[in-house]
Amino acid sequence: MTSAVLSPEAPAVIARRRPQARAAYLIGAISIGVIAIMGAPIVLSALASVKTAADASAAPPHYLPTALSFENYAKVTRFQAGLATYVGNSALVAAIAIAACLAIAAPAGYGLARFALRGKEVAFLVLLAPIMIPYQAILTPLYLDFAKVGLVNTHLGLAVVHTILQLPFSVFLMRSSFEAIPREIEEAAVIDGCSTWQRLTRVFLPLTIPGLVTVALFAFINSWNEFLAALIFMNQDTSFTVPILLVSVRAGKFGAVDWGALQASVIISIIPCLAVYLVLQRYYISGLLSGAVK
């Protein structure tokens, strides 16, 4: 048998690697702890959603169900207009908001990133200014304006509100995505005779798919979870969205809170957001990093 011979530099290399390994283990342990803290509420909600009514309202609470029961999900499914109606309303509003954000943010971001316009930095700051204003402050004047044009209690009107709330961030993200594309690609397109619109649609948009997907993902999640505007602008059961369902289904007998039905509706509302994020996460990460490195 032959024995392995270590080089004279091997002990020094091993000594240098030990701190790196300890740091990696420490980062891994911290990551696992953060994941556990962030995932614990979802796990507890999932467990509470399959409890019986007595277990869900027990004091002190039982973290594990004594018996599995799906009556809470059946109750949510049959609630008032039906679960499918609320999910369909939220999906419709989110789809309109996504389409509007993409249709407006992409050309706006392209113009701010590529056109030599006088005062475009000031215009960009003006576009970002609404982010610093609490959107609750503008809901009353929006409601009055929408009531005059017949957009109250319509999914189109609610989608317009969601678009207004999401648009500043969408323009910011698309501008960063367009700025990350090298100038040489645009110059080559100009030499080939592409017009401004052709450069946008045939050259830049295919290269900014991660940014477009990120805008769509943020618009979907924010529209799906938005509660206050939906509560103010919608006043019919058949027009309510999923966040309104969460508030309505919690009412139990004699003023009590139906915790089981509430947790079941929470889990149902989480599933679409989680599914969309898992499908689009690789575009989401690269889209957020667009323009970070020049």
Q: Same domain, yes or no, for 38 and 179?
A: no
Q: Pick out the chain residues at pLDDT < 50.
A: 1-2, 291-294
Q: Please check whether residue 102 is in contact with residue 212, taking contact to mean a CB–CB distance below 8 angstroms.
A: yes
Task: Specify the pLDDT at position 36.
Answer: 92
Contact call for residues 20 and 248 (beta carbons, < 8 A): no
For residue 294, being part of any structural domain is answered with no
Burial 47-71 (b: 16+ CB within 10 A, else e): bbbbbbbebbeeeeeeeebeeebee
Query: Both 16 and 94 in a single domain?
Result: no
Please state the pTM of the whole predicted model: 0.82
CA–CA separation, 99 and 5 (whole Å): 65
**135, 170: one domain:** yes
In a domain, 152, yes or no: yes
The number of distinct structural domains making up the chain is: 2
Q: Locate all alpha helices (DSSP H) within 131-208, ordered by sequence.
A: 136-149, 155-179, 183-191, 196-198, 205-207
CA distance 286 to 217: 13
The half-sphere exposure of 282 on its side-chain side, counting CA atoms within 13 A, is 1
Res 292: pLDDT: 47
pLDDT at residue 293, rounded to an integer: 46
Is the domain of 44 the same as that of 81? no
- pLDDT digit string, tens, across residues 126-179: 888 888 888 888 888 899 999 999 999 999 999 999 999 999 999 998 998 888
| 64 belongs to a structural domain | no
Query: Are 114 and 174 found together in one domain?
Result: yes
Is residue 146 within 8 Å of residue 152, measured between CB atoms? yes
Is residue 139 assigned to a domain? yes
103 and 200 share a domain?
yes
- 67 in a structural domain: no
Asked if 145 and 267 sit in the same domain, the reply is yes
Residue 43, domain extent: 10-49
d(CA 55, CA 61): 8
C-alpha 122/C-alpha 141 separation (Å) is 26
Same domain assignment for residues 157 and 279: yes
Considering the domain architecture, whether residues 39 and 76 belong to the same structural domain is answered as no
Strand partners, 251: 257
Query: Is there a domain that residue 293 lies in?
Result: no
For residue 198, report the phi and psi dihedrals to the nearest 5 degrees: -65, -35
CATH code, 108: 1.10.3720.10
Within this chain, do residues 38 and 177 fall inside the same structural domain, yes or no?
A: no
Structural domain contains residue 225: yes
Question: Same domain, yes or no, for 169 and 275?
Answer: yes
Task: Decide if 246 is inside a domain.
Answer: yes
Q: Residue 148: what pLDDT?
A: 92
User: 153 and 273, same structural domain?
Assistant: yes
Q: What is the pLDDT of residue 1?
A: 45
d(CA 240, CA 230): 7
